[in-house]
Structure formats: structure tokens, C-alpha cells
Amino acid sequence: MKYIEKDKHIPQPDYNLMWTAIEKEAYKRQVNLQPSQKTPRYRMKVVPMSIVFSCFLLVAIPVFAGVTINWDKIGGRSVTNALNNGIGQQYDLKASSSGVTMSLNGVVTDGEKMKMLISLDPKTDLTQYIGFATEKNTITNESGAKEKVYDYLEYDPESQKLIGIYETPDTLKDDKKDYKFEAQNLIFYRNREIPLKVSHQAGDTIVTGVTQYPTIHIESVRQASNKTTIRYKVAASPSDMDQGTPYLVVHTGGQEKEAIPTLMPSEGSDLYIEQVFNMTENDWKDANLHLSYTEEAKRISGTWTFDFTADGEKASEAIYTKNLHTSPEFQEKTGVTLEQLVVTPLNIQILIDEQDSLKQGNVHYKTPQLVIGDQTITGVWTLKGDPGNYQHLFHFESPEWYKNWSDVPMKLILKDAVIEKRDTSKNWITLNAPKKEKQFTKLNVDGFEIQFKYYTEGENLMVESTSNSPGFKKVSQTTLRINGKEVVPEITPKGMVSTGFNLDSYKDIPLDETIELNPGIYRYSDPSRNAEIKL
């Protein structure tokens, strides 16, 4: 049994999963800010062109020459905004290798990151591929210090080129330095999907016939609320590192069903994956599984090198900061203390401190928005810094660049509030003696009815939690109390997609003792906690 005494002993979130979710959400919301494209390959919302009030003076300089490429579609709006306003450096540098020309179009820094605008012209049909990357990217400063550079490339049908944002830590700051950027080997990827004509129940091992992922072992299959949750391990070499992003596709009743794969923590090189399909138990039994994955389709070996000089003085001078005031009413309602507004050439950050008391209820906002002038932009909650010393913040991409940010009216809107609580001072119910057959009980907590099923599975006590109450999100982790001591379940990884229920497993429980159950950590929506404040 695992006993707990205080909130601080509750298992902490898996930050690798958190960062994965944050990065996906950040990119998705950046995409939603961009103009729509003519091809269905890019699904983006249409937003009106920005209107600049005459009272907000924009810096007038020659427009960035690389504007013939629409960098917005890959999240490059802030970079081009900065370059159009004389912040950072514009280039027209080209390097050719193996018949492919790479261009370095611009570089902008903001004290934390350096972002480079890159385009490539491979002189080949790019529409037959689904992904692209340069295999190894490094940047070296004049002192010889070398840093990795991370790339994001995408096909631009308008220019028929690959365009990308390459990112590395900002080692320039407010200095002027010479750099050498080097990219090696251009890789083209394509999707593959193969049928798996075998049984697919828990415990089955499927031989795929694919060298990259030779076997799939199904760990578990569970059904609840017309959802089927499958967890499986995909055999992979240590060098794969999930580069092929394998996942299962289900074919049933003449339809193809996909579900977002969540990569779970796992020992060794095998990939441990969870998927939640919207399908019943009978549909699952009749389904045919396919394995979908990405493979390298083509490789162009080459090296592209650029020598350039970057000056961070203007970027450093352009950073605007403002200390923020939080009223007691706003703090009590949101659990958020506003600390500082930071406007950089690449983004807008609102640094915050958040109340951390599960007993009172932590407030999480799914949709933070920032009103700048007459424009409303949606951002994300995120973290920066090192583990153990994270800074919480709301992150936004600026739609415009103003010469004097102190004159720009701003308002922060916090929407879609979700409360996360754990209160073991109340909300207990005594269980009947657990047995192999499922037994049922329920609790009313904060106006929500939560249903529980409990039963033994081997030597373990299993507890399932679910709720059909409107606004209730989920139970994340139940708690037991035995002879006055609280017991938490075994720590098992959980996916990012809701399964419709929570399943906890308790080991070494004395079944002949009095066992009490508490919902533990649970989440629910609370629109009354939505708020807005002028900055």
C-alpha cells in the first residue's frame, strides 16, 4: 500500500506528456491565426486583416524582401513583423548542394530564442510526401561554441518550395557576433498503412512484417461509455525514437476510424502507445486493424553552410516590460497573480504565479485571450525555465509590432475555466467487502454525481470512476482510507485523450478491513471563474 499525508506527496504530472500537449496546442492555435490557403492541405481559419489605429505609430522601413513567401502559415508572423520593423537581420544568402538550393532569409532574436527563416528548392515534386527535415543542424559562434538547431519544414504550394523556421537558444543577446549555420541531409517522408489480419485482444502479439516496427503487443483493451481504449507496445530500435510515429487505424462497418495516439512513458526502446476509439465492444470485435507509420522515402545527401553576422542590439532595445497589478478580487476568483507583461520581437508573455491548493481548487484556463487594440488573439498557458524552477505564463503571438507598446491598450481574457480539486477532509463513502464481481456506489461532490465500480482483479483492488453530470470532466486519481491512513493507487501512465472513465489499481489492500473511498483528484468546468482584466 502507498500512504499519503499531504498534497505534496500526490504524484506529479508527467511533464513530457504536458510539454507534448502544450507544443501541439501552441502550434494549432498559431495556425488558427493565419490566413486561409487555396489548397485543402492547410486547414486554417480566415481572420480579418489587421486595422492600425492612426494613434499607434508603426515604424516605416522597407518591407522584408522575403514577404513573397507566406511565412505566416508555419508560425512565422512574429518573425516577419520584426524584420519589417527593422528588428533582426534580413538576408538573401544562398547555398547549393546536390542540386538543392537553400536560402537564409532572416534572423530574429528575443533574449531567449533565435529564429531563422529558411527556404529550400529541391527541384522535385514535393506533393507526394507528407513531411520533410534536415537531418542535422548546428550553429557555431565566433568563439567556437556550438548549439543544436531545431527545424520545422513544410511544403508551400504557392512558391513550390519548402519553407521553415529553424530555432536555437539566443546566445546573441544584445551583442554583435559572427555565426556559421550548417544543415546536413534533406529527408523526405511518406505515410504507409498496412493491414494486420490477426486477432487483436489483450495479450496478443502481432507480427507486422515491417522491419521498422516488427511486432505489436496489445497490453490491454477496455470498453466504457461506447469508447474502446487500447494500450500496446510497438517494438522499435533505440535509434527510431518515435520518428515514424506508428499508430493503429481501425476499419469497421465500411468505415475507417482514427484516434489520436498518446506516447506513454516506457522503459527501453519499445514505444508504449494509448489510443481511445469512439466505438463499442461489438464494433471492436468485428474490426480490422491497420498499422500506420511514417517512413523515409527519399534522402538527398548534402551540406548547406551559411556564414552571417547578427546584431542583437535593436532586438534587445525593442523588448518592452511592464509590472502588473492584481486586485484581490481577481486573484481570489482566478487563483492567478499577474506579475509582468513582456513584449519581445517574437512573442508576448504574461508572467504569472498560480495558487497551488488542491483542497481549495486550482483553476486552469483552457482559452487565454489577449485583446490588443481592436484585435483578439488566442494564446496558450505554458512554462519556461528548468524543472523545479518553472515560470508559469500565458504566451501569445503578436499580430502587429508597435513602436511604443506603452500606449497600446491591452486586456487579458481568461475563458473555459476548469477546476482541479482534492479534498480528503470530506467526501468519503464506505465500500462493501470487495470481491471479483463488480459492485457499485456513488457520491455527490460539488453538485456532481460520480459513479464508482469496484472489484478484485487477481490480487489487486480495481476502482472505476465516471460521471454523466454536465460540466464534470473526470476523476484523475481516487484515494482509499484504511484504518485512518490514506492510500493512493499504483502510479500508471495515462493518456492525453479522455477515455470516459478513470481506472485505478490498488495493490496489497487488506480486503477484510474497513475500506473508505474518496474521489481524490477530480476536474470540472466552472464558467463563473472566467474573468477579464485590463493590463
Residue 170: its H or E element: none
- Using a 10 angstrom Cβ sphere, with 0-12 exposed, 13-18 middle and 19 or more buried, the burial of residue 108 is buried
3-class secondary-structure state, position 29? helix
Helix locations, 240-327, DSSP H: 281-285, 313-318
Give pLDDT tens digits for 286-341.
899 999 999 999 999 999 999 999 999 999 999 999 999 999 999 999 999 999 99
pLDDT at position 66 is: 52
Q: Return the beta strands (E) in 235-270 as ranges.
A: 247-252, 255-257, 262-264
Measure the CA angle with vertex 38, ends 36 and 41; round to 5°.
85
Q: How far is CA 459 from CA 26, 85, 209, 219, in A?
A: 43, 67, 37, 18
Under a CB-based contact definition with an 8 Å cutoff, are residues 233 and 270 in contact?
A: yes
Under a CB-based contact definition with an 8 Å cutoff, are residues 222 and 215 in contact?
A: no
pTM: 0.80
Give pLDDT tens digits for 99-118.
999 999 999 999 999 999 99
The pLDDT mean for the chain works out to 85
User: Helix/strand/coil (H, E, C) string of 405-457?
Assistant: HHHCCEEEEEEEEEEEECCCCCCCEECCCCCCCCEEEEEEECCEEEEEEEEEE
- Over residues 363-385, the mean pLDDT reads 94
Q: How many residues does the chain have?
A: 535
3-class secondary-structure state, position 84? helix
What would the grid cell of residue 298 be? 527519399
Give the whole-angstrom CA distance, residue 214 versus residue 293. 12
Answer whether residue 475 shows pLDDT above 90: yes
Under a CB-based contact definition with an 8 Å cutoff, are residues 85 and 400 in contact?
A: no
| Structure confidence at residue 346 as a pLDDT band (50, 70, 90) | very high
Minimal CA–CA distance to 113: which of 149, 59, 60? 149
Strand ranges across the sheet with 380-386: 320-323, 336-343, 348-354, 389-396, 380-386
pLDDT at position 198 is: 75
Give the whole-angstrom CA distance, residue 376 versus residue 68. 26
